[in-house]
Every structure is written in C-alpha cells, then in structure tokens.
Amino acid sequence: MFLNDWLITPLRVIWDDWRARVGGIIILLYVLMGTIGVVLISEPRPGDGPRLIRPFQDWAHPLGTDINGNDLFAQTVHATPPMLEMIVAGAVFTTALAMVVGTLSGYKGGIVDRLLMTFTDILLTIPGLPLVIVLALVLDPRQPWVVGVILTINAWAGLARAIRSQVLTIREEAYIEAARLMGISTWRILLKDITPSLMPYVLVNFVNAARTVVFASVALYFLGILPDTFLNWGVMMNYAYSVGGALYTSGTAHWLFVPLMTIVVLSFGLILFAQGTDRVFNPRVRARHASQDDLEPGEDDMSGEVATQIRG
C-alpha cells in the first residue's frame, strides 16, 4: 500500500511522460558516471596518450586528449563526483531553507512574515552572480559541498516566495481549518496537508537549484575565481581556454567543447525531468494510474505552471 502509493505509482506516472523519461535517463547516466564510472575508468594522468587527439578518432581515448595527453573522457568522468556533491548540497540547502522560510512566513503571518519577506525580497534583488563571486573570493571555499551552498546563497529566495504564496492560499482552504479545529498539531498539518501540495514547486525548484549550481560552478571555475582544488568541467574549460588557447589555436577546440557539451546535456536532462514529473503530484493523474479510472482529458496538464517556475 505505502510502497504502491509513494513509489510504484509515481514511477509509473513518470515513465508515462516522454520528457520525464528522457530527462530521468540522462540524470541517471550522470549519476552512474559519478559513481560506477569513477571506479571503471582510471584517473586521467598526463601522458596517458598522445597530445591533442581529436574525439572519435582513437577508441582508447573516445573524446580525445588535451595538450598534455590527458584523456578528456576520464577527466569528464572524474569531475562528476564533486559536481554531484555540489549539486546535492546546493539543491538541498536551497530547498530546505526555502521550505522553512516560506512555510513559516506563510503559516505564521504577522511580523515574522514581514521580516522574513523583506529579507527575502532584498536577497532576491541582489544579482546572484556578483554576490557569489564576492563571497567566493572572501571565503575561498575548498570542499565541494561548501561551494554548492555558496553558489545557491540567494537562489532560495524565489522559491521561498513561491512557497509562501502557496501556503497562504492553502492555509485558507477549508480542510486546513477543519484539521486545526480537530486539534491536529501544526507540524502534522504542515506535513500531511500542506507539503504535498507544495511538492511540484519543490521538485521543480530542486532541479532549478541543481542547474544553478552546474551553471555557476562551471562559470566560476572557468573564470578561475574558485580555486581548482578538484577536477571540474569548468576547470577543463579554463585550461582549454587559457593554456590551450582553444578559441584561436587550431586543433584544441574539442578540448573546450567536450566539457561544454557535458554541461548542456545535463542541464537539458534536468529541465526535461522537471517538466515531466510535475504530473506525479497531481492526484487526478495518480488516481487514474492506480485504478485505471478514466477521467476527462486535459485535466492533468500543468506544464504551463511549471514553465513559469523554471527561470534561468
């Protein structure tokens, strides 16, 4: 029963949507790359192979090598685990903080709400990248998870806002008042009655935060603002750009384009997944899958709402 409600049915619904299916597979591939991949593929070392092999030429080095003969595929794979760590740290930080601030603000109201929202609005207005850069310089983070948190330092504000306005709406629903009158504790109401309605937002924003982390970390490593204490696709790009002069030296372009494509594909997978999964949280769709009941067409399409939620 529990398994069916919370695992099997949602998975079936996800699988039903091609966007979620493709996106899910892509994400899974990256996760495999970061877990099993690092075991299977040995760490890149200078002089592994000849210098600057182009991709798809030599199957010992499927994506080619850089100027030192480092295997690019191995570099890409071994940059994945810290990236995953950053993503998870950033996304969890964003989502958790936004949930706490948003629900607290919406559910409590009054002065708590005013203070929290003013603070949120200010964070929301400060442009993210410059702030992150300044913080990164001052704090000089070296662990992936710290980097992840710094990169999303103000990414949670938008989500907190969205959650608050959701909570405000839901709070007025009759069933919440009924639950309160039944003497059910605030925590249980939040857990049982409010959070399920917030899940689509949370999921979409979890994925957004992941994208923010990927984009920003690569950018900062690429610019050399973050210390290159571990491998990153951005570090690869930085070397290709500065050491290899990939933009104007012939034969080095692939060095830059391999990490580039790695980012684009991951980000594409994340967006597709978010676009597709939001149906999981729609009880109409879930009921249909559980009981094969058929319902009016078109009632399950919420993709428009999700689209509004995904921002650069």
Partner 1 sequence: MVNYYLARTAQALFTVFAVMTLAFGLIRLMPGGPMDFVRAQLQQEAGAVDQAQINAMVEVYTNVHPEQPLLDQYVDYMSGIMRGDLGVSMWYDRPVSEILAMALPWTVFVMTISLAFTFGIGISLGAAMAYAEGSRFDSISTLVSIFLNSIPYYVAAIVMVYFLGYESGMFPIGGRISSDVTPGLNIPFIASAFYHAALPIASFVITAFGIQALAMRGNSIRVLGEDYLRVAQLRGLPPHDIALRYIGRNAILPMYTGFMISIGFMFGGSVILEEIFAYPGVGFYMFRGIEARDYPLMMGAFILITVAVVIGVYVADLTYGKLDPRASTKGGDREAF
Partner 2 sequence: MTEPEPTTTKMGRPVFEVEGASVTYDMDRGVSRVLDDATIDIFEEEILGVVGESGSGKSMFASSLLNAVPPPGTLDGEIRYHRDGEVIDLLGLSPEQLRRVRWEDVAMVFQGAQSSFNPTISIRRHFEETLEAHEYDIENGLEHARQLLADLYLDPERVLGSYPHELSGGMQQRALIALSLVLEPDVLVMDEPTAALDLLMQRSILSLLENVKEKYELTVVFITHDLPLVAGLADRLAVMYSFKFVEIGRAEDVFSNPKHPYTRALLNAIPNLDTPRSRMHPIEGSAPDPVNVPTGCSYHPRCPLADEQCEAAEPPLAETTDKHHAACYYWEEAMEEIELSIESDEPAVDDTVVGRQSDEPVVSVDAVDVHFEQGGGGLFGFFSDPDTVHAVDDANLEIYENDVVALVGESGCGKTTLGKAIIAAQRPTNGTVRYRGQDIWGTRDGRVDGEIPWEQIRRSLQMIHQDPGSSLNSHRKIKSSLEDPLRRWHPNMDPGDREERILGMLEYTGMSPPTDYALRYPHQLSGGEKQRVALIRALLMNPDVILADEAVSALDVSLRLEMMDLMLELQDAFDTSYVFISHNLSNARYFAGNADGRIGVMYLGELVELGPVDEVIDEPLHPYTKVLKWATDDMELSDRIEDPPIRGIDIPDPVNPPAGCRFHTRCPEARTVCREESPSLDEAVSAHPTACFREYPMEHPYWDSEPVDDAEETVTGDPIDAG
Please report, as ranges, the residues that interact with partner 1 according to CB under 8 A: 118, 121-122, 124-131, 133-135, 137-138, 158, 161-162, 165, 211, 215, 218-219, 222-225, 237, 241, 246-248, 253, 256, 260, 263-264, 267-268, 270-272, 275, 303-305, 307-308, 310-312
Please give the residues from 210 up to 249 whose contact with partner 2 meets the rule CB under 8 A. Answer: none
CA–CA dist 187, 236 (Å, integer): 47
Please report how close the Cβ of residue 175 comes to partner 2 at its closest, in angstroms.
5
Q: Which stretch binds partner 2 (CB under 8 A): 92-100, 137-145, 266-274, 293-301?
A: 293-301
Q: Which stretch binds partner 2 (CB under 8 A): 78-86, 111-119, 245-253, 301-309?
A: 111-119
CB atoms within 10 A of CB 294: 7
Select from partner 1, partner 2, none the partner in contact with residue 145, using the beta carbon and a kind-dependent cut-off of 5 to 8 Å.
none
CA–CA dist 108, 117 (Å, integer): 12
Question: Which residue bears the tokens 């203070």?
Answer: 115
Select from partner 2, partner 1, none the partner in contact with residue 284, using the beta carbon and a kind-dependent cut-off of 5 to 8 Å.
partner 2
Distances (CA, A) of 236 to 56, 60, 61, 97: 19, 20, 16, 32
CA–CA dist 253, 117 (Å, integer): 47
Number of H helices, E strands in the chain: 16, 0
**Sole binder of partner 2 in the list 123, 184, 243, 261 (CB under 8 A):** 184
Select from partner 1, partner 2, none the partner in contact with residue 298, using the beta carbon and a kind-dependent cut-off of 5 to 8 Å.
none
Q: Which secondary structure element, helix H or strand E, spans residue 25, and what is its range? A: helix 18-32
Can residue 6 be called a binding residue for partner 2 (CB under 8 A)?
Answer: no
Non-local (6+) Cβ contacts of 208 within 8 A are: 155, 159, 274, 309, 310, 311
Can residue 118 be called a binding residue for partner 2 (CB under 8 A)?
Answer: yes
Please report how close the Cβ of residue 31 comes to partner 1 at its closest, in angstroms.
18
Question: Which residue bears the tokens 């007025």?
Answer: 172
**Sole binder of partner 2 in the list 32, 36, 134, 287 (CB under 8 A):** 287
Find the angle CA(263)-CA(47)-CA(238) to the nearest 5 degrees. 35
Query: Would you tell me which residues interact with partner 2 (CB under 8 A)?
Result: 114-115, 117-118, 173-175, 177-184, 192-193, 196-197, 281, 283-284, 286-287, 291, 293-294, 296-297
